[in-house]
């Protein structure tokens, strides 16, 4: 049987950023009606490859070809999203590319009509209505995008592509912001679209999802194609090995030994309903020697919890106590000095000052402490010594303590932050998305440090969108939804679907009162 001509063909795509080869001679074919999963760890090169396909980046070598109207493959001019869109390629980016001040309808129309014309709102509206009916992507087109939920915004993004008659749809980590149940809903839509002839490429680092929805899997590792298989024949173990390459020691978590509560929230409320930081009547305690995992879809109030524990906010109602003393005012410095270690969610934005040196960044939280300054004058020798020790201890790869922090890779920035906050042997640790964007080696490193801190008696709370990570680290689970926090209990008693239901705000059956 001759193979049908593919819808899309990438040949020997290579892309380098300085000395880093992000994509190394990768070739890929996509056929009509096929769902191809592009799988790989963070940093494997998946997003780079798709950015080349969509025209955000220009490849250094290789050709992208798309099936034309005449039935043959024609090369796609590189570096132009406009050309990609014209050839029928649509992309749903990981961070949505929507104008929040405009409605869904306007976002979909954007760029589709000649700029110097009067536009066709009505015609657009009816075409989109048809697409919504066919695909099942329900969304209110006239509401401002900033008032839509994350799931609804994603639907607008997909509609954008379908409106432009996309024949190929690329989705970059689409389930990162969805509950397990919402992700299922998305997969239903994707299967329907594929059945209608659409080709789908779906980037993920989550093995389970990939097995659930794809026809074919391509694994990338270190910028190269590590393997390609049909999903039906795929074996979990084999794929995991392809993704990771060498065996990495799995982090083993011993049973925790919870002790006294160190930080507690008692009926804490924050903000107004509907704000992404809002919290209602939240109560929980962080106990020494215990890791609490806070699960939840992003945007349900985790930012509020993080802000409270970081000292960037105080409760509007309820109380917070730290070592049995109430916290009354917001002060990050105060909390730092009392032994609370915080790792920020966005490490480039909130974690380091990129143009200051590694040594400066390591010293930043304690700059006024007697060890690093005296009478307002900096003790640079002490700062350098401390930095050198931390760099060695935490394996922070950098040109030296005086190098600017912005030169460090994501993993090393995270190690710098770990060095900064763990050096002081803190008693309470907030780890917010601690391994986002890190490769598997750096992830284990971070996990090991967190568990070691727990074993020393620290109370740890890990906020993460990655359920696998939480199952690795947590002794006990809390689940947050729409600002309410539910205690799900010890990790041993839980499974993914139970947590998934709680993340969606539904109680699993066993939680209801027995009559």
Partner 1 sequence: MDVMLDIFGSANFWAAAIRIATPLIFGVLGALICERAGVLNLGIEGIFVAGAMAGWLAVYLGAGLWGGVLVAALAGAMFGLLHAVLTVILGLSQHVSGIGITLLATSVSYFTYRTALPSVTSPPRIVPFQPVTIPGLTDIPFIGPALFSQTPLTWLAVALVALVAFVLYRTPLGLAIRAVGDNPASVEAQGLSVRGLRIGAIVAGSALMALGGAFLTMSAFDAFFFGMVNGRGWICIALVVFASWQPGKALLGALLFGAFDAFQIRLQAEIGQVVPGQVFLMLPYLLSILALVLVARKADYPRALLQPWTKGQRH
Partner 2 sequence: MSLRLDPRADASIGLRLAVSFASGLVALLIVAIPVMAAGGNPFSAYLLMAQGAFGSMFALSETLNRATPLILTGLAAAIAFRARLWNIGAEGQLYMGALAAVLVGSGFLQLPPALMIPAIMIAGFLAGGLMMVVPTILKQRFGADEVVITLLLNFVVILFVQMLIEGPLKDPLAMGWPQSVPLLAEARFDKLIPRLRTHWGLLVGLLAAILLWLMVRKTVLGFEIKAVGENKAAARFAGIPVDGTMLKVALISGGLAGLAGVGEVAGVKFYLSADLSPGFGYSGIVVAMLAGLSPIGSVLAAIFIAAVFVGADSMSRATGISSYIADLVVALSLLCVLVGSFFLRFRLILDNRKAEA
Residue 351 touches which of partner 2, partner 1, none (CB < 5 to 8 A by kind)?
partner 2
Q: Using CB under 8 A as the criterion, what x/- string covers residues 43-82 for binding partner 1?
A: --------x--xxxxx--------------------xxxx
Choose the binding region for partner 2 from 104-112, 253-261, 325-333, 473-481 (rule: CB under 8 A): 325-333
Q: Does 333 bind partner 2 (CB under 8 A)?
A: yes
Tell me how far apart the alpha carbons of residues 33 and 200 are, in angstroms, rounded to a whole number. 8
Strands 8-17 and 20-30: antiparallel
Measured distance CA(442)–CA(429) in Å, rounded: 19
Among 2, 18, 69, 118, binds partner 1 (CB under 8 A): 118
What sections of 328-374 are H helices per DSSP?
332-337, 358-363
* Binding of residue 370 to partner 2 (CB under 8 A): no
Name the one residue in this structure whose structure tokens are 């070691």: 452
Query: How many CA atoms are closer than 13 Å to the CA of 433, on its beta-carbon side?
Result: 19
Residue 80 burial class via C-beta count within 10 angstroms: exposed 0-12, middle 13-18, buried 19 and up: middle
CA angle, 116 as apex, 112 and 118 as ends, to 5°?
A: 75
Partner that binds at residue 444, options partner 1, partner 2, none, CB closer than 5 to 8 Å by kind: none
Q: Check residue 376 for interaction with partner 2 (CB under 8 A).
A: yes
Which residues have CB under 8 Å from 275's CB, separation 6+? none
Residue 130, token pair as written in the block: 């048809």
Residues 43-62 that bind partner 2 (CB under 8 A): 59-62
List 272, 368, 397, 456, residue binding partner 2 (CB under 8 A): 368
Residue 274 binds to partner 1 (criterion: CB under 8 A): no
Q: Is 329 among the residues that bind partner 2 (CB under 8 A)?
A: no
Task: Tell which residue, 189, 93, 186, 46, has the closest CA to residue 107.
Answer: 93
Q: Which residues from 98-117 bind partner 1, rule CB under 8 A?
A: 98-102, 106-107, 109-117
Residues within window 393-452 making contact with partner 2, judged by CB under 8 A: 404, 407
Q: Which two tokens stand for residue 133?
A: 């009916």
DSSP 501: H
Binds 18: which of partner 1, partner 2, none (CB < 5-8 Å by kind): partner 2
Tokens 């005296």 — which residue?
Answer: 374
∠ CA 475-211-185 to the nearest 5 degrees? 85
Tokens read off for 27 = 């070739």
Determine if 15 is a binding residue for partner 2 (CB under 8 A): no
Overall size of the chain counted in residues: 515
452 in Cβ contact with 254 (< 8 Å): no
Q: Does 160 bind partner 1 (CB under 8 A)?
A: yes
User: Residue 380 Cβ, how far from partner 2 at the closest point, in Å?
Assistant: 8
The nearest distance, CB 48 to partner 1, in angstroms, is 10
352 is a contact residue toward partner 2 (CB under 8 A): yes
Residue 71 or 370: the one with the smaller Cβ distance to partner 2 is 370
Say which entry of partner 1, partner 2, none residue 82 contacts (CB below 5 to 8 A, set by partner kind).
partner 1
Closest CA to 484 of 306, 301, 277: 301
Residues that bind partner 2 (CB under 8 A): 12, 18, 59-63, 310-312, 331-337, 342, 344, 349-356, 360, 364-365, 367-368, 373, 376-378, 404, 407
Give contact residues for partner 1 (rule: CB under 8 A).
51, 54-58, 79-86, 91, 93, 95, 97-102, 106-107, 109-119, 160
């Amino acid at each position: 049987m001759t193979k049908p001509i593919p819808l899309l063909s990438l040949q020997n795509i290579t892309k380098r950023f300085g000395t880093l080869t992000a994509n190394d001679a990768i070739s890929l074919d996509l056929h009509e009606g096929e769902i191809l999963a592009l799988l790989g760890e963070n940093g494997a090169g998946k997003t780079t490859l798709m950015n080349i396909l969509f025209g955000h980046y220009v490849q250094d070598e290789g050709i992208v070809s798309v099936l034309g109207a005449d039935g043959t493959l024609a090369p796609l001019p590189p570096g132009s999203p406009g050309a990609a869109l014209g050839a029928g390629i649509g992309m749903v980016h990981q961070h949505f590319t929507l104008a929040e001040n405009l409605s869904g309808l306007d976002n979909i129309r954007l760029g589709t009509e000649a700029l110097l014309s009067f536009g066709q709102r009505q015609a657009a509206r009816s075409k989109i209505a048809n697409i919504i009916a066919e695909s099942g992507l329900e969304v209110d087109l006239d509401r401002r995008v900033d008032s839509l939920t994350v799931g609804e915004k994603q639907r607008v993004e997909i509609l954008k592509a379908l409106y432009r008659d996309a024949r190929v749809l690329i989705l970059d980590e689409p389930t990162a912001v969805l509950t397990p149940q919402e992700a299922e809903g998305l997969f239903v839509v994707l299967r329907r679209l594929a059945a209608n002839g659409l080709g789908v490429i779906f980037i993920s680092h989550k093995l389970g999802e990939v097995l659930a929805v794809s026809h074919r899997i391509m694994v990338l590792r270190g910028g190269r194609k590590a393997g390609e298989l049909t999903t039906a024949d795929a074996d979990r173990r084999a794929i995991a090995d392809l993704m990771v390459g060498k065996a990495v020691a799995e982090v083993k978590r011993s049973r925790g030994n919870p002790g006294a509560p160190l930080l507690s929230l008692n009926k804490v409320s924050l903000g107004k309903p509907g704000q992404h930081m809002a919290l209602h009547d939240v109560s929980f305690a962080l106990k020494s020697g215990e890791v609490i995992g806070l699960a939840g879809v992003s945007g349900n109030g985790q930012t509020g919890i993080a802000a409270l524990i970081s000292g960037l906010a105080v409760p509007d109602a309820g109380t917070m106590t730290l070592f049995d003393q109430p916290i009354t005012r917001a002060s990050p410095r105060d909390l730092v000095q009392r032994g609370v270690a915080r790792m920020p969610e966005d490490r480039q934005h909130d974690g380091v000052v990129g143009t200051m040196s590694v040594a400066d960044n390591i010293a930043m939280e304690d700059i006024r402490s007697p060890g690093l300054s005296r009478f307002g004058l900096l003790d640079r020798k002490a700062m350098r010594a401390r930095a050198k020790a931390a760099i060695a201890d935490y394996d922070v790869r950098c040109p030296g303590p005086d190098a600017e922090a912005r030169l460090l890779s994501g993993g090393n920035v995270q190690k710098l932050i770990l060095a900064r906050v763990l050096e002081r042997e803190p008693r309470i640790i907030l780890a917010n998305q601690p391994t986002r964007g890190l490769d598997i080696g750096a992830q284990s490193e971070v996990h090991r440090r967190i568990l070691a801190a727990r074993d020393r008696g620290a109370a740890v709370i890990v906020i993460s969108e990655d359920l696998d990570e939480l199952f690795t680290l947590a002794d006990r689970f809390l689940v947050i939804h729409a600002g309410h926090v539910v205690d799900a209990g010890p990790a041993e008693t839980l499974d993914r679907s139970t947590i998934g239901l709680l993340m969606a705000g539904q109680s699993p059956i066993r939680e209801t009162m027995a009559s």
